A and B are shown apart, each in its own frame.
Chain A
């Protein structure tokens, strides 16, 4: 359906390009913006402009940042000898929320995904090697997602770094999620939980 206002139509078209937004939701948001106070809409527009202008990748870890390097890389209290490798900046936020990790990060910007044509060259892997090679890093923790792509990526990294002297490459544990019932776990999840068991 076309609207009498071409400007309204433009906003709807732009919104439908956002992930997870269908035409109906886009229409609802566009009408909401049209009716909301001018200040609200301006703030939203300005924040998007600022985001694009000021936020970039940290040149060390690849995380999103407004400063170079990012606050985590610049923090002298953090342990730079341990690097946690994740697929996306969102994963950094998730791990930071635990408050359990005091090392640094490396964001790959994806995982190996042959069906999408994503191979090692498309990931921030040479940057990882550059960080590890000079020495001083004692552990790389691979925290890619527990999916086929994440597993393949983890094994690729392990192989890539296997000859770096004094470096340990570890993988985060995989298993049964907290709060769930064993009987509803599938065989892959349970098998991995068993093989990754620990003494208590």
Chain B
């Protein structure tokens, strides 16, 4: 058993027994860690608000490699964004970032850049206009895929490598676009040039600049379809994020 310390993002928690919690942490050094936080739900819990979803903490963990569940000893809040909880729709969209990490992150060595990307996304979401939240989460998903090693090809045809200027045929499994001459084949669908350019932008722009995009001109449905099909093809047992379905049902109460 070793006492380790790591910066971490709190992804979610489950109730355990009368007063404890099981907490999912995405840590800078050790990737995903599931920890027991004893007494965390008691009124005098030493964890306070530090285990709420989306809080960035410094965590001290008793870690034993042979165990699935580690013991959380102490957390100090590094960054907390209560604005994320103060609007139900904003909360649901921000949760997509956390759920994505829980479903997609793997490995025991951590991914500091992915953690930074997630924290920057949440920070941007906490102050962005409601209308731009959806494109911010899409930008995060595309950029996170890039960090995980499977970014979609959006600028040249996967087959003949010729540059794309008139949209293309998106093939989720092959991981990108094909030109009209090569043809997309089964499972592919047409992506307009506008949606292609937006996706290129989402994959390249720093997340905070996405908050300033003109959200009303964003081809949301087309981009959502491409990103969701792409994730389904590249993540195991993925049938969409639960939080995104909740966000959709809360959408009518936006702002």
Contacts and interface: CB of A to CB of B under 8 A. Distances in A.
Nearest to B48: A186
Given A120-B249, A159-B253, A188-B49, A114 B44 contact: no
Contacts of B46: 184
B242 A147 contact: no
A119 interface: yes
Contacts of A38: none
Nearest to B51: A147
Interface residues of A, number: 30
Given A115-B12, A115-B99, A189 B48 contact: yes
Contact of B86 (A119, A120, A151): A151
B54 A187 contact: no
Interface string A141-177: 0000001100111011001100000000000000001
A19 B49 CA distance: 24
A188 B243 contact: no
A118 B243 CA distance: 8
A185 B250 CA distance: 33
A153 B88 CA distance: 7
B19 to A, nearest CB: 10
Contact of B95 (A114, A147, A153, A191): A114
Contacts of A20: 16-18
Chain B residues touching A, range: 35 or more
A184 B49 CA distance: 12
A117 interface: yes
B61 to A, nearest CB: 18
B82 interface: yes
B130 interface: no
B245 interface: yes
A188 B80 contact: yes
B16 A152 contact: no
B249 A121 contact: yes
Given A115-B95, A184-B46, A155 B87 contact: yes
Contacts of A155: 86-88
B245 A119 contact: yes
Given A115-B95, A117-B242, A188-B80, A156 B49 contact: no
21 contacts: A19-B15, A19-B17, A20-B16, A112-B92, A112-B250, A114-B95, A114-B243, A114-B247, A115-B99, A116-B242, A117-B242, A120-B249, A148-B85, A151-B85, A152-B85, A156-B250, A159-B88, A187-B49, A188-B77, A188-B80, A188-B82
